[in-house]
Structure 1
């Protein structure tokens, strides 16, 4: 079975961490589970390598995402848009920028 198919069966942050053999503190997961999984996704998305990730690359991205929240918190890391907006960080999609019509 491919790693993508195996990962499709994982349901929680704990499942992902266990699957990749990453020791974790349940207290960190309880507070930051969605933030960790989103950061994991972001790290995978922004990899320089265009080839499909290997098991080790998936593991490294997840371990890095988890460690971000062991040493910090959700408000500091600003993973989700709501925290970015609260800090005054805004993004505007290019598709919404147009010339004004006379």
Structure 2
């Protein structure tokens, strides 16, 4: 019974992290990128987030976000995230490829 309760808590935590990541990408990325499970990016050089795992390992985003992504598409604004935000963004992007 305790294992089930702990598992349930972990699922809830994952859900909160994914929801936080979604809010972050809505605020910072949705202007150019398709950030959901469907749709086309509004910027021709901005890949849809649901396809990022096909281009490179999602773990590589952690370092890029920590250092400040400044080279995505040519006119992409620089975006720097703190460790908590990075974890949430990566969790959200991973959730799209499930």
TM-score bracket for the superposition, by shorter chain length: under 0.3
Task: Considering Cα pairs closer than 8 Å and 6+ residues apart, tell me whether 1 or 2 has the greater RCO.
Answer: 2
Structure of greater Rg: 1
**TM (normalized to structure 2)?**
0.27
